[in-house]
Structure 1
Amino acid sequence: MTAPPADLADEAPDPLSGDHRFQLLVDAIKDHAIYLLDAQGRVSSWNTGAQRLKGYSADEIIGQHFSRFYTPEDIATGLPERALLAARTTGRFEAQGWRVRKDGTCFWTSVHIEPVLGSGGALIGYAKVTRDLSQLLHSEQALLASEERFRLLVQGVRDYAIYMLDPFGRVSNWNAGAQLIKGYTAREILGQHFSRFYTAEDRARGEPARALQVALSEKKYESEAWRVRKDGSRFWASVVIDPLYDEAGTHIGFAKITRDITERKRSQDEMDRAREALAQAQKLEAIGRLTGGVAHDFNNLLTVIRSSVELLRRTGGDEARRTRYVEAIADAADRAALLTKQLLAFARQQPLRPEVFHVGTRVAAMKQMIETLVGAQVRLEFEFAACQGMIEADAGQFDTAIFNMAINAKDAMPNGGQLKISARDVEEIPPALRQAAAHGDFLAVSIEDTGTGIEPSTLSRIFDPFFTTKPVTKGTGLGLSQVYGFVKQSGGEIAVASRVGEGTCFTLYLPRTSKLPAVAVPDDSRDVLPARRDLSILLVEDNDEVGEFELGLLHEMGHPGTRAASAAEALKILEQQHANFDLVFSDVVMPGINGLELAKEIRRRWPDLPVVLTSGYSHAVADDLGREFELLHKPYSVRELQALFDRAAKTPPRFRRK
């Protein structure tokens, strides 16, 4: 075996014994005080961590009793002795508590003591490990303080009901706001299912379960609805429900916040009613302005009709002249009917209902009424070639806005002039108007006149309600405020430019929409059945002149008819001979039992007997009739009447609405 090199052979053996290595390891630990006590509790060893945590050097503390690390209160209660006794008898002592450093400051510690036994089992001392947990204690105390402050905050909130539900929807805690809003104390409601706050109608629809399901699937549920207090009264509530999960991601319940917003809803409802009332007031004002023009137009139409009738009496056998006069009468009647229909449609009261429409098409349909409003002295011009987009707004409000501005333009041109209504697509609106308007593309509708213009000092006030420069009998000052409200409500803006003596131009910037107008698809499926021309009809009409005329019209059309002068008389006739009639044709507005009530009674008693209603009114009630019964608006043509009779009579009973 070769001898090792001289430098290695002469090297001294490793001076670190096992005990020395262990002492170096213990001294290297600085976050724990690790030291030994003899059997009487005196310190017999001291590591670097002990010096750092407790402030004593080894020379200062070795030989001293470990009780000097305890607070006076703990020493008085004998805690040091009890700690050693517990370690000696049970094999271990563990605890947390306050300890004292050399400088007298206290710190929160975790203490571990184990007995050290000799080879024969005799007790020779104790091993003691101490750790400074002051920072952890401070963090826990801060957390507890934060949680307590949060609890006090939640409990102190009185405008919101803030509480928790378990995964099944049972109330698991309850704040003061919840008690104030809902009326239940925590003792009364904890453990109860939250569905008791819902109305009976919502519970029947399964709304509570749906709310929790939506919260789970979409991570949040928000709604506004009626809720019920303990005393049974209802309140309008804003509700938010969020699901709660623990650190492992397990669903543990729901956080629920409810706010009583009854007053806000009441204010909003009142505002909506006021807005609708304002819109209706504007319509009525416009109708008042229309009266003179409408009377003029109707007198012209009546002149045509009257003159044609007189000429018909003189034509003798000239068939060509008779035909010309008859066509003139029919044309005048059609134009009168259109004017009446537009006037009634404009005057009707209805909720605000946004719909998609093309401005050019809408204004074109209003042309006759605008012409009537402004009179013959004002030349009208329409330009919509640059307008291809659609808007989504309340069509009735739009009509009212156009009429109001047309009225203002007419008043600004007492000696006549020109009124131009145009529309164009625009990609942006003027910078000064952008701050409040919706984002996106717009459609600009301009109403421009050649009138007197508006004074600069007046321009800033023209949209104020009830502000007007017109005489008392010429306006209320609500016209432009309605226009302003309509544009703002639609997400748009309005601009005005005016020069005194030259004219004024109002431009309405309305957001364009990519939606398409709703298209009514007629149901022609019943038209394939063969038409019946020999219907036996019960006519119900209270007006003698109209009744006699309509009865004669039925006979001329080939339908045998019987007239009843009231709904009560019609029911008596049907009780005796309902099987003899193929159809009932009734006016809607009659004294006593009206036409709708009669139709419902006939449907109840003789469900196989068709009913057709007719009305000269064009309002929401009449339109609703059309959803339940066949409805024919007056005036009507013979062709319209026959088509409706055929459709009603051909509908098999099992397909008629019950």
Structure 2
Amino acid sequence: MDPSSKPDGDESPVSLPSEHRFQLLVNAIKDYAIYLLDSQGRVSSWNTGAERLKGYTAEEIVGQHFSRFYTPEDIATGLPARALKFAREQGKFEAEGWRVRKDGTRFWTNVHIEPVLGPEGELIGYAKITRDMSQVRFSEQALYASEQRFRLLVEGVRDYAIYMLDPAGRVTNWNAGAQLIKGYTAHEIMGQHFSRFYTSEDQRNGVPAHALQTALAEKRYEAEAWRVRKDGTRFWANVVIDAIFDEAGRHIGFAKITRDITERKRAQDEMERAREALSHAQKLEAVGRLTGGVAHDFNNFLTIIRSSVELLRRSGADEEKRERYIRAISETADRAALLTKQLLAFARQQPLRPEAFGIAQRIGSMTQVIETMLGSAVKVALALEGPLDAVKADPTQFDTALLNMVINAKDAMPEGGTLKISARSVDEVPAVRRHAAVKGAFVAISIEDSGSGIEPLTLARIFEPFFTTKPATKGTGLGLSQVYGFAKQSGGEIDVRSRVGEGTCFTLYLPRTAGEVCAATGGGLSDVPRETPRLCILLVEDNDDVGQFASGLLSALGHSVTRAGSAKEALTILEANRETLDLVFSDVVMPGMDGVDMAKEIRSRWADLPVVLTSGYSHVLAVDGDHGFALLQKPYSIQELEDFLYRAMPVVQRTG
């Protein structure tokens, strides 16, 4: 059998000559131009990579001199011949340079030429490998250009001191801005520790080291503080320090940027001083308006009281006239007391007695009063459906606030209209009067009218005390101030939206509560029995006039009164006569030990002795309940006094 013959189906590989296999390998390489030159520099072979890089086919280029790939400038200088001569003499030639494609475009190459020698060492040609390095060169040039631009940018910046520190904090470079701001030239400051720019106080307190530690730990440090120039003057600086790490993550230093913001700080300080001056002026204006309003109303009240007193003194006044004058005095005193309460509410100094109550039930119980107040020309619409959580607030003050808003709506609808009262649970108080929105659980009570609306300039001032657009006989300008004070003191807010000619909507936000709703309507004094046992009372009052009046009033009610002019005197009397005294009735504001401290002392020494405090001072009223003693607000009526005394007594004494 012929050994060269193969059975059918035998597919053993075809054996190729080694020269052919090598040619296949060279032709398969596409990223490199690999070809041979003869001893004269003419192309004698051409691979696929050479065709792709240079644009010539083998038929077009074989036999052509390789110099045609060079630029005219390189040809003019004899570079092709020098390259071959260098390769022949030195064993290889390697360089980078521009080459030209068939279409005339240029590309940057890495060229490698080696001589090819025969068996006897004779030169038979050259092996040439060319690689297109255009993209690499472009990237390198772009990076270099970018670095140069960045260096020029940093060097040219004059408003910022931009420089580097080594890991120890020594200066390693210095830009023109750093020299301008800090006064040092690069020659003077390179290698110096950056702490020399800090004030002596900051150096003693370790601020420079802390700055670097913070930058290293948190990758960034920023602050504003005083820094020191070369001439010793100080400037206010904004400083940023960033920790710098190399590709391996090693810490190699810090980048530091300093900006002189002295002028900005000076302007801010001037603005703050101007703002404080304006605020002070506005406060004085408000105090003046408040004082004028209080003086106006109280002068009116005093005129009525004084005239009534003088008429009572005149002989010949019959019983009917006397009763009218007495009623005028009483009603005017009540109006003065109400004015005081409204002022305290606006100032958030009115003592509140918060309870949990249902809004829907509370408004529902007031509907008849509201409808009567508005009259038949105004239609009242209630939108209180749906589940509403209880709120925590003073129910009596809520009634007053609601009625104040209703009165305001009525005045805006002289020809009639619609008043809508609605309530809903919300989880946020929206931005009000330039304040940010507040998250929380609230019930929003809205009173919306279809009236004339409010001008924007007026709208901005409606909560100011004594500010009113109504005639002098129509209002005091304290109704909405009371609403504002009540809302704030209750932990809520009041908002108002209005469009001229379309109407106004007030929205009162009160905090929701999960507490049990009180069945009572505020624990009024009217439920307390009026008959009070005859008591032996220690009256503590430092003002003689008030002391004499209060002593006479208590005596007129049938009580036995012992008077003390100070807390110290009262304690001395108690030490000697405790067994004969049933109750202590004391003013709060007194020189030396005040009434609250005295009451605490009495409680610690004679725990069974009841104490009733009284005051008209707003701060004392505001902290009502903090001291744990009954507090009767001045001015008070005889009935209120009797009720307080009764409630202060132990049950056994009330019934005994």
| TM, length-normalised to structure 2 | 0.51
Give the deviation of 1:4 after TM superposition.
8.6
Give the deviation of 1:33 after TM superposition.
1.0
Pick the aligned partner of 2:458 from 455, 459, 462.
Answer: 462
Where do 5+ consecutive residues of structure 1 fail to align? Answer: 300-334, 348-357, 362-384, 391-401, 414-421, 513-549, 559-615, 618-630, 645-658
Inter-partner Cα distance in structure 2 for 1:511 and 1:4: 106
CA contact (8 A) 1:236 1:265 kept: no
Which residue does the alignment assign to 1:232?
A: 233
Q: How does 1:4-23 map to 2 (within 5 A)?
A: 6-7=6-7, 14=14, 16-23=16-23
Give the deviation of 1:427 after TM superposition.
1.3
Which one has a bigger Cα radius of gyration? 2
Inter-partner Cα distance in structure 2 for 1:360 and 1:160: 59
CA contact (8 A) 2:354 2:392 kept: no
The superposition leaves residues 410-435 of structure 1 with CA deviations (integer Å, 9 ceiling, x where unpaired) of xx99xxxxxxxx999731457x9799
Which residue does the alignment assign to 1:262?
A: 265
- Aligned partner letter, 2:197: F
Inter-partner Cα distance in structure 2 for 1:511 and 1:169: 55
Q: How does 1:13-412 map to 2 (within 5 A)?
A: 14=14, 16-155=16-155, 157-223=157-223, 225-230=224-229, 231-237=232-238, 239-259=239-259, 260=261, 261-263=264-266, 265-266=268-269, 269-270=272-273, 273=276, 276-277=279-280, 280-281=283-284, 284=287, 285-286=289-290, 289-290=293-294
Quickly say closer, same or farther: Cα 1:58–1:183, change in 2 above 3 A.
same
Give the deviation of 1:243 after TM superposition.
2.7
Corresponding residue SS for 2:24: helix
Quickly say closer, same or farther: Cα 1:11–1:139, change in 2 above 3 A.
closer
Give the deviation of 1:2 after TM superposition.
12
The superposition leaves residues 124-174 of structure 1 with CA deviations (integer Å, 9 ceiling, x where unpaired) of 332211111112222333333334444455555555444443333334444
Inter-partner Cα distance in structure 1 for 2:492 and 2:69: 75
Inter-partner Cα distance in structure 2 for 1:508 and 1:32: 82
Inter-partner Cα distance in structure 1 for 2:190 and 2:445: 63
Inter-partner Cα distance in structure 2 for 1:463 and 1:175: 56
Which residue does the alignment assign to 1:312?
A: none
- Aligned partner letter, 1:460: P
Corresponding residue SS for 1:19: helix
Inter-partner Cα distance in structure 1 for 2:256 and 2:511: 37
| TM, length-normalised to structure 1 | 0.50
Corresponding residue SS for 2:236: strand
Inter-partner Cα distance in structure 2 for 1:102 and 1:159: 53
Identity among equivalent pairs (%): 49
The superposition leaves residues 561-613 of structure 1 with CA deviations (integer Å, 9 ceiling, x where unpaired) of xxxxxxxxxxxxxxxxxxxxxxxxxxxxxxxxxxxxxxxxxxxxxxxxxxxxx
CA contact (8 A) 1:491 1:511 kept: yes
Give the deviation of 1:460 after TM superposition.
1.9
Give the deviation of 1:232 after TM superposition.
1.8
Inter-partner Cα distance in structure 2 for 1:149 and 1:74: 31
Inter-partner Cα distance in structure 1 for 2:70 and 2:492: 74
The superposition leaves residues 351-375 of structure 1 with CA deviations (integer Å, 9 ceiling, x where unpaired) of xxxxxxx9969xxxxxxxxxxxxxx
Give the deviation of 1:24 after TM superposition.
1.6
Quickly say closer, same or farther: Cα 1:119–1:491, change in 2 above 3 A.
farther
The superposition leaves residues 199-246 of structure 1 with CA deviations (integer Å, 9 ceiling, x where unpaired) of 3333322223223322333333333x2232415222153x43333333
Give the deviation of 1:99 after TM superposition.
1.4
CA contact (8 A) 1:438 1:511 kept: no
Give the deviation of 1:506 after TM superposition.
4.5
Quickly say closer, same or farther: Cα 1:149–1:64, change in 2 above 3 A.
same
Quickly say closer, same or farther: Cα 1:196–1:12, change in 2 above 3 A.
closer
Inter-partner Cα distance in structure 2 for 1:279 and 1:444: 33
Quickly say closer, same or farther: Cα 1:438–1:5, change in 2 above 3 A.
farther
Which residue does the alignment assign to 1:438?
A: 437
Give the deviation of 1:251 after TM superposition.
2.6
Quickly say closer, same or farther: Cα 1:359–1:208, change in 2 above 3 A.
farther
Corresponding residue SS for 2:253: strand
Corresponding residue SS for 1:41: coil
Aligned length: 454
RMSD over equivalenced CA pairs, Å: 6.5
Inter-partner Cα distance in structure 2 for 1:171 and 1:86: 48
Inter-partner Cα distance in structure 1 for 2:283 and 2:184: 45
Corresponding residue SS for 2:209: helix
Between 1:176-185 and 1:77-86, the stretch displaced more is: 176-185
CA contact (8 A) 1:387 1:425 kept: no
CA contact (8 A) 1:246 1:252 kept: yes
Give the deviation of 1:26 after TM superposition.
1.0
Corresponding residue SS for 1:44: coil
Inter-partner Cα distance in structure 2 for 1:435 and 1:636: 39
- Aligned partner letter, 1:44: S
CA contact (8 A) 1:360 1:423 kept: no
Inter-partner Cα distance in structure 2 for 1:389 and 1:155: 65
Quickly say closer, same or farther: Cα 1:511–1:440, change in 2 above 3 A.
farther
- Aligned partner letter, 1:273: E
CA contact (8 A) 1:236 1:262 kept: no
The superposition leaves residues 362-407 of structure 1 with CA deviations (integer Å, 9 ceiling, x where unpaired) of xxxxxxxxxxxxxxxxxxxxxxx967699xxxxxxxxxxx9xx99x
Where do 5+ consecutive residues of structure 2 fail to align? Answer: 304-336, 356-387, 394-400, 413-421, 513-563, 573-588, 605-656
Corresponding residue SS for 2:137: helix
Inter-partner Cα distance in structure 2 for 1:13 and 1:470: 110
Give the deviation of 1:122 after TM superposition.
3.9
Quickly say closer, same or farther: Cα 1:165–1:67, change in 2 above 3 A.
same
Between 1:209-218 and 1:271-280, the stretch displaced more is: 271-280
Inter-partner Cα distance in structure 1 for 2:492 and 2:269: 24
Inter-partner Cα distance in structure 1 for 2:234 and 2:131: 60
Give the deviation of 1:16 after TM superposition.
2.5
- Aligned partner letter, 2:437: A
CA contact (8 A) 2:392 2:510 kept: no
- Aligned partner letter, 1:227: W
- Aligned partner letter, 1:441: G
CA contact (8 A) 1:26 1:47 kept: yes
Inter-partner Cα distance in structure 2 for 1:227 and 1:13: 85
- Aligned partner letter, 2:426: V
The superposition leaves residues 507-562 of structure 1 with CA deviations (integer Å, 9 ceiling, x where unpaired) of 466999xxxxxxxxxxxxxxxxxxxxxxxxxxxxxxxxxxxxx999989989xxxx
Inter-partner Cα distance in structure 2 for 1:493 and 1:188: 64
